[in-house]
Structures are given as C-alpha cells and as structure tokens.
Structure 1
Amino acid sequence: MNKKMIIYILGKMLGVEGAVLLIPAIVSFVYGERSGLSFVAVSVILAVIFLLLGRKKPESTTIYGKEGFVIVGLAWVLWSLFGALPFCISGSIPNYIDAFFETVSGFTTTGSTILTDIESLPMGVNFWRCFTHWIGGMGVLVFVLMITSLDDQNSMPLMRAEMPGPEADKLVPKARHTAKILYEMYFVLTAAEVVLLMFGGMNLYDAVVHSFSTAGTGGFSNRNASVSFYDSAYIDGVITVFMILFGVNFNLYFLLLLKDWKSVLKNEELRAYLGIIATAIAVITVNIVNIYGSVLHAFRYASFQVASIITTTGFYTADFELWPQLSQVILLTVMFVGACAGSTGGGIKVCRFVILCKSIRQELKKILHPNAVTVVKMNGKKVSAETLRGINVYFAAYIFIMVLSVILVSIDNFDFATSFSGVLTTINNVGPGISKVGPVDNFYMFSPLSKIVFSFDMLVGRLEIIPFLLMLSLDLWRRRF
C-alpha cells in the first residue's frame, strides 16, 4: 500500500477544507459575528497540517482502486472531524459528539439534526451547516479534484471510490475534466434555484442556504419550521422541482448538453424514477385530500413530501406523521428506494431496484424454461455478472448493517418506530423519520453511543457501504500492493 501517497492526498484535502472554511468566516464577519474567528482558527490548524503533509509529493505517486477506497473513507471522516470544530469553538454546539453528528449529517447530505433552535445560530454557522450539504452533494473528493492539480492517473480511482454505484463512470477521458463538468452543471442549477427563490420573496441569504441544501439533497434550513416557514405555494413548487432535478443522474444532463435526447428519453432508471414519483404523489394526494380540503392543496403537500423523501433531501412543509398510515408507508417505501445513481441523492438507488426486479424475473424464467438463455439488461445493455454480484453483496451488507444498528440504538429504549426509522433515515441519508424522529422532531434525545452509530450509518450510506467496510478490514492494512 502506498501509504505516503495516501497521507499526501489527505494532507492536500485538509488544506482545501481549511481554505473552504474561510467562506463561512467571511459570511460571519459580514454580519458582524465573532463566530467567524472559530472558522479562522480551524482554517489555520488545517493550513499547518497541509504544510506538513500535503506539500511534498512522494517519489512513488501511483495509487490503485483499493487505496482509493481508503483515501475516500478517511477523507470523509477527517473532513467531518475537523468540520465539527467551528461548532464547538463558537459555542453553537458545545458537545463535540453532537457537533460531529451535525457535521456528518451535513457532508453526507442527510439533514438529520440535534439542534432544537436553529434560528438562534449565528448566520455564519448556519451558512456552514448548509454549505456542507453543497460540498457533500457532489462529493468531497469530486470537489477537491476540481480545484487541485492531482493528476488524472490518481484522480479516477478516487472518483470511482466515492461514486461506487452501478453506473459511476467518466463523462470525458480526463477525470479532473469530468469533475469540472459536474460542478459546472451543479453550480448552474444551484444559481438558477437561488434566482427563482428570490423571485418568490426569499432574501438572498435564505435563498442561498436553501439552494445549497436542495442541491445537495440535504435538507438543512435556517428556519426551525423548515420550508413550511414561508407558507408559499410558489416556493414549495420551485424547491419540489429542483429536488427532483438534483435526484437525476448528472450523466443525463451531460447527454442533454450533447443534444442526445434519445438516450435520455430511453433511460430506464430515469423513467422508473419519475414513474415512482408520479405514482406516489397520486396515491398520497387521494389519501390526504380530506385533510386539506381540496385536490390542489393535497397535491401541493404530497408532491413536496414525496420529492423530499425519495431524493433524500428531508425538507418538510407538513407533519406527515399526521397523515393516514398508507401515506406514511409510501413515504417509508420511497425512502428505501432513493434517487438515481450519479445524482446528489442518497438511498439504495433506483437502478439497483430496477436491476434487482429484472434479476428476480430472470430467475423465474429459468425455473419455467430451464433451457432458455436469459440475460438481465439495463438500457439495452447486458448487466454483467460482476455488477449483479455487487448489487447482491450491497443488499446483504445493507440489511446486516441496518439490523445491527437498530439493535445498538435500541439500547436507548425508545419505541421500535423511532429506532428503526432513525436508522433507516440515516443510512439512506434522508433526514426525518417517524415517531420521535419525525419531521418536526430531531435526534437530540439519543445517547452519545446512538449518535455515533447514526453518524457511522450516514457515512456508510453516503459512500454506499463498500468503501467503509474495506477501510475496516484488517486484511486491507496488512496487504502490500
């Protein structure tokens, strides 16, 4: 293992985080807040680490896939560990475990929180909370690759490790150019949302932080009542549309730029994604129409909440715990599914469910027609045996981690709905669950052990399990390659 190169890359990444922390520091100073000093202090610490570890490139610079997984796993943990310090130093979140939970929730774009009075936070601190969503949405590594000079040979193993879904791939031959294209599209969509929200009456600050959270499909808000604070059908509509847009595979936007409409329209994952959204909205609208008195009002709240949950954003405009059981079950179901691969959304991903369903159908055909030659196809291409094996391993690991996490969290002795949905919402990077972790509640009442378990689940969910499991493997650290 090229440990010197791993340390070098991590040093550069921490240096980037130090520079990024100056942005919320500037926001704090603009609003005349002393909390800006906490960001500067951590930025200085990270600058020193960068000078010690990230300046001198090792003689051997080659890294491979396994080292890429290690770097990605450690990078997300280190960014979260240091990103939590400004919360503690400023006094906004005095307890470090709480601050770590909040930061992991930010970078992984989960949106779960331990804060009970968000509006009392300094403007710079609230900006940092939502900005972590924007950085983590496209990926910490992709963000670093875009703004550093890491060569393409070493960039691609990092991108593949951070975006390990079935369709993770390059848009163009060079990985850094791919990262640049992704962030250009990401920035344009974010800026468009900011403008549209301001047209709806939001001030610039509120429009920026809510756009950051929408773009990263995170769900942090600077308002205690989330988006329901604005009570605006226009704002609800804008955020609903952009949540759905950010849940789409960004490769498809690249194809749109190339005017390859045919490939976009024939994409099976996109059609399944939009079909699930439309079906869920229709059923919930009918189910809650008696609560809101009209189809339009029911449609408004149903569409926002479905978009928020399936894209794992976590905003809310209604307390869906008061909705009928059918609506709640549908929301929990789409929470499992998640958004598209290659998007900023979390969850298991639509393409995995589509492939899994096709695999089941293939097995049934084999039983009925033993001599028939059957293959699983996605978008007209054969799904390799390796991909199918990877999906099966992913599901098995997902269930194992979820069950183990529920058992550990149950030590706090909350009801099953709270423990189960708390784990489900964190491992799928959604934000709100049901019962005591519902949309108008949060995670403040859990023990430190449970908060660490939830933080682990958020990181595992964001990196889609395998990188984290590899990092915990003793065999990986013993081997030389």
Structure 2
Amino acid sequence: MKLNYKIIFYFLGSLLLFNGGFMLLSALVSLICQDGVTLKLFFSGLIPIMVGSIVMLINKNHKKEMNKREGYIVVTFGWIVMALSGTLPYVLTHSIPGFTDAFFETMSGYTTTGASILHDIEAMPEGVLFWRSLTHWIGGMGIIVLAIAILPLLGIGGMQLFAAEAPGPSADKLHPRITDTAKRLWLIYFGYTVAETLFLWLAGMTFFDAINHALATLSTGGFSTKNASVAYWNHQPIIQYIIILFMFLAGTNFVLSYFAFKGRVQKVLQDEEFKLYCWFILIFTIIVSGIIYFRADLALSTIEHPMVWGKAESAIRHGLFQVLTIITTTGFVSADYTLWTHFLVVFFFGLMFLGGSAGSTSGGVKVVRHLIMIKNGFMEFKRSLHPNAVLPVRYNQRAVAGDIVFNVLAFFILYMLSFIIGALVFSMLGINFESAVGLSASSLGNVGPALGNFGPVTNYAALPGIGKWWCSFLMLLGRLELFTVFILMTPFFWRNR
C-alpha cells in the first residue's frame, strides 16, 4: 500500500498552525510585560501559521484514512517540525542566536528534558521565557494527543496516532472514542496546571514565576525562570512542597487521576504500578534523607542553613524533592546532589533509568515495565522448577499477554543499547566517562541534569555542536519510546506493499 503523503503533509501543516498560535500567545505575554520583543515574537508566530496554511491548502484534497505507517511518520516528523519551527522565537529575538543552540533548547523543551544551554536565564525577555515553558507544556501530554482531540474537526480519525504516540504496555482507555480520551486527559492536565499556578502564587511566587513553574512541573520538564532553579526558594519550603505534590501527580498515570475524580479511589489504590511507584518514592526518600541528615557536613551545608525549619525537615524535604525530580524526570534542582557523597551520585544515576508511570508525562523506562520484568524474572524461576506448568505474568490480577512481555523485554534491551551507544558517541567527542554516561542517561530518559561537567548546577553550553545534535536525537528517541523512531530506520517500513 502506497503512503498517503497528502494526509501526512496536511497534518504537519496543522501542527505548524498550532505551534504558531502558541507563539502568538507568547507575544501577548511579551506585550503585557513590555519586554521589548513583542513584534519579533509576533512574526515568529506568523511565519509558521502562514507556512502551515499554505501546506494545508496544497494538500486539502487528501484521503481521510490514515494507516499505522502514516501515523508513525506523522508522530516522528511532527515532533521534528515542531522543534524546527519552535526555534523562531529564540532566533528572531536573538535570545539564542546560534541555530544549533536554539534547536537544542527547543527539542529539550518539547521532549520535556529540561537541559539548557542558557547561562543567564533571568536576563531573558519574559515573552521568550514563557515560550520556553510552553514548549514543555505542549510536549508534556504529547502534541499528537492534543491534535487527536481536534482531528474530528479536520475529518480525520486519530486511533493510529495514539498508538504511535503511546506505545507502552498499557492501553487503558477512559472512553471508547480515542478523541474523547484525549480531551479528558487534557482537561485534567490543564486543571492541574491552573491549580498549581494558583497555589504557587499564593505561596509567594510572582504570578509569572508561578505559571512558568506550573507549566514545567505538570509536563515534568524542569525549565525554571531562575538561574538557581527551585533552589532560589530554599528559604520558602512551602513552595517546594507544592512543587513536590504536583511532581508526584505528574508522574502518575493520568487515567488514575480521572478515576479519582470520578470517585473510583479504590481502583487507584489497587493499581499495582501506582503502589510500586509510591513504594519506590518512600524507600528512596528514606535512604537519601537519612544520608543527608547524618552527613550534614557534606549535604545540608550545600543546601541552606538547617535551622530554617529544622535539620530533620530540611533533610526530608530535599531528599524527597530530589528523588521525585529524578524519578519523574522533571529535572528541577533544589541543591547540587553531586556533593552529597559518592554513593548518592551513583544512586541518583540509577534512578535516571526508573521513570514515572505509564500514561504520565514522565520519561524513562516507566515503572510498569520494571514491574513486568521483575514479575517475569520470578516466573522464570518457577518455570524452571515446574516446566510443564502454565504460569503467566499477572498485572492488576489479569494475565499479561506473552507478546506484551516480549515487547517490554525488547524495549529494555533497546533502551540499554541506546544508552551504551549514546555514551560511546559522547566519549568519542572527548567527554570524560562520568559526563558521557550521565549525558546519555539523562538525554535518553528526558531527565535534564546529568553528571560530571553537566551536573545539576551547570548547563549544556560546553557541549560541542555535534554533541548537542546527538543529545537532541537521544531526547527525541526517549520521548517517543524508541520504537516509533527506530521503525522509520528499517528498510521494510518504506516498502510499498
């Protein structure tokens, strides 16, 4: 079957329109803040809107059907098109003059990685900072899922796109119609963002800082409006507790939030992934907080004076904050954890491979995949003892199909191979071992802060140009969960059948 190129280009054109609309919103913020770049941001939005309109007009006479192959192409190239057009506000305002740096910052935004090349964030115009945070928010729930919600207006069905955007092992639907599912997820996402903005504002942030940090938290992105990130508010613990709460919610399956709002709390509490997610956070927080508390000479001294709210409270808060920000791949920073003993550096490096829940805005491998791999490992021991017994892996009291187990195992193998190759490429660019493995794990997991020369209190500006492009590729690869990108690299995908 030949590819329906017209529908592909038509959809990419609609994404440009969508992107341009958000750029115009940034121009409005710029006008309100009077930061001097309003006109440039306006033209930044106008260009993709004009190009998108022309592309849509040329390809308006397309077949309405979209198969899986076209879905994969639209998802992958949709992200690339969004990232390319998203560089315009940086380039036209001269906030980030180099295209490589602008593309890196934009891809980091859309993939909710949060890695940055900016040295002085606070010197940036407010309209540009708002656009930077918006790239997080758009990418958080998935630009493609949002587009599915409006596809009926274009006369196109969106099931194939949802499958390509969310290729994880769970296919729990809120509603039989995928467009209604997307709308419900976005309503929850938007509601959480509004709620966090209000809470942060009431807690003492300016409204501008509050909305930007809400956009970055719910998307598990991590871009801040301050050079010190959330450490800027170390003297206001209530702000950090609010961010902790919403990082936790952003790292859970948004479907569970829907069930909770519908009063089906029991379904949330019985979910195996959610329970393991909570146990991970609790156990890891106890470990980190204990080390911070008992090694105060190395840890608390790098955070704040422990007498602000008490030594124990400070240790627990910063331990919980850093565990959550890495597990959920948000990437906010409350302190330089690379100074918290060598054990904790290795510990946090390991957490970069964990990830949040499936159906969340987090990156990484995802808790449910770890759960299925652990259960399958135990089942292999039982199968060795009882070779003739039928022992399926069970998840939420239901047997998991064999092909899903194989999919999870294949994903993990590909993920680790991608990490190893990623680190090898960085080492070829002359980057030391600690920094290379940190960069690879952080980029692929969409975490943000890495290790070594690219730790939580530094940025990625020192990376060579090729390294930034490689980082951008790993970010995209991790955000689209490997298969969506890798399948486009296979010869049989492009054969007309």
Fold conserved between structures, TM > 0.5: yes
Query: Is there any run of 5+ residues in structure 1 with no aligned partner, and where?
Result: none
Q: Is 1:458–2:475 an aligned residue pair?
A: yes
SS at match of 1:67: helix
Q: Which residue of 2 aligns with 1:257?
A: 261
Q: Is 1:297–2:300 an aligned residue pair?
A: no
Query: Is there any run of 5+ residues in structure 2 with no aligned partner, and where?
Result: 301-305
User: Among 222, 227, 241, which residue is 2:225 paired with?
Assistant: 222
Q: Which residue of 2 aligns with 1:477?
A: 494
SS at match of 2:36: coil
Q: By how many angstroms is 1:59 displaced?
A: 4.1
Amino acid at match of 1:359: N
8 Å CA contact retained: 1:85, 1:96: no
Q: Which residue of 2 aligns with 1:284?
A: 288
| Alignment deviations for residues 17-56 of structure 1 (CA, whole Å, 9 cap, x no partner) | 1112101111112122332223322322212222222245
Q: Which residue of 1 aligns with 2:303?
A: none
Q: Which residue of 1 aligns with 2:31?
A: 29
Q: Which residue of 1 aligns with 2:418?
A: 401
SS at match of 1:98: helix
C-alpha separation between the residues in 1 aligned to 2:465 and 2:171? Answer: 35
Amino acid at match of 2:253: N
8 Å CA contact retained: 2:44, 2:92: no
8 Å CA contact retained: 2:151, 2:157: no
Q: Which residue of 2 aligns with 1:207?
A: 210
Change (3 A) 1:340 1:48: same
SS at match of 1:13: helix
Q: By how many angstroms is 1:303 displaced?
A: 0.6
Q: Is 1:128–2:145 an aligned residue pair?
A: no
Q: Which residue of 1 aligns with 2:163?
A: 160
SS at match of 1:318: coil
Which 4+ runs in 1 deviate beyond 4 A?
A: 150-153
Amino acid at match of 1:255: F
Q: Is 1:181–2:179 an aligned residue pair?
A: no
Q: By how many angstroms is 1:340 displaced?
A: 0.1
SS at match of 1:154: coil
Amino acid at match of 2:407: G
Amino acid at match of 1:115: L
C-alpha separation between the residues in 2 aligned to 1:161 and 1:352? Answer: 18
8 Å CA contact retained: 2:151, 2:158: no
Amino acid at match of 2:197: V
C-alpha separation between the residues in 1 aligned to 2:262 and 2:246? Answer: 21
C-alpha separation between the residues in 2 aligned to 1:38 and 1:405? Answer: 36
C-alpha separation between the residues in 1 aligned to 2:76 and 2:388? Answer: 45
Amino acid at match of 1:128: W
C-alpha separation between the residues in 1 aligned to 2:285 and 2:156? Answer: 45
Q: Which residue of 1 aligns with 2:250?
A: 246
C-alpha separation between the residues in 2 aligned to 1:151 and 1:424? Answer: 39
8 Å CA contact retained: 1:73, 1:467: yes
8 Å CA contact retained: 2:116, 2:461: yes
C-alpha separation between the residues in 1 aligned to 2:312 and 2:496? Answer: 61
C-alpha separation between the residues in 2 aligned to 1:250 and 1:390? Answer: 22
**Alignment: residue pair count:** 480
Change (3 A) 1:253 1:306: same
C-alpha separation between the residues in 1 aligned to 2:401 and 2:61? Answer: 37
C-alpha separation between the residues in 2 aligned to 1:455 and 1:439? Answer: 18
Q: Is 1:4–2:21 an aligned residue pair?
A: no
8 Å CA contact retained: 2:23, 2:89: no
| Alignment deviations for residues 291-350 of structure 1 (CA, whole Å, 9 cap, x no partner) | 136221110110111110100000011110110222222222221111000001111000
8 Å CA contact retained: 1:287, 1:326: no
SS at match of 2:158: helix
Q: Which residue of 2 aligns with 1:235?
A: 239
8 Å CA contact retained: 1:111, 1:218: yes
| Alignment deviations for residues 407-432 of structure 1 (CA, whole Å, 9 cap, x no partner) | 11112322211011011001000000
C-alpha separation between the residues in 2 aligned to 1:11 and 1:473? Answer: 26
User: Among 54, 58, 63, which residue is 1:60 paired with?
Assistant: 63
Q: Which residue of 2 aligns with 1:268?
A: 272
SS at match of 2:157: helix
C-alpha separation between the residues in 2 aligned to 1:375 and 1:91? Answer: 58
| Alignment deviations for residues 212-234 of structure 1 (CA, whole Å, 9 cap, x no partner) | 00010000001000011122110
C-alpha separation between the residues in 1 aligned to 2:256 and 2:155? Answer: 23
Query: Structure 1 residues 285-294 or 308-317, which shifts more?
Result: 285-294
Q: Which residue of 1 aligns with 2:335?
A: 318
Q: By how many angstroms is 1:478 displaced?
A: 2.5
Percent of aligned positions that are identical: 37
8 Å CA contact retained: 2:197, 2:207: yes
C-alpha separation between the residues in 1 aligned to 2:314 and 2:44? Answer: 46
SS at match of 1:253: helix
C-alpha separation between the residues in 2 aligned to 1:252 and 1:152? Answer: 30
C-alpha separation between the residues in 1 aligned to 2:495 and 2:466? Answer: 29
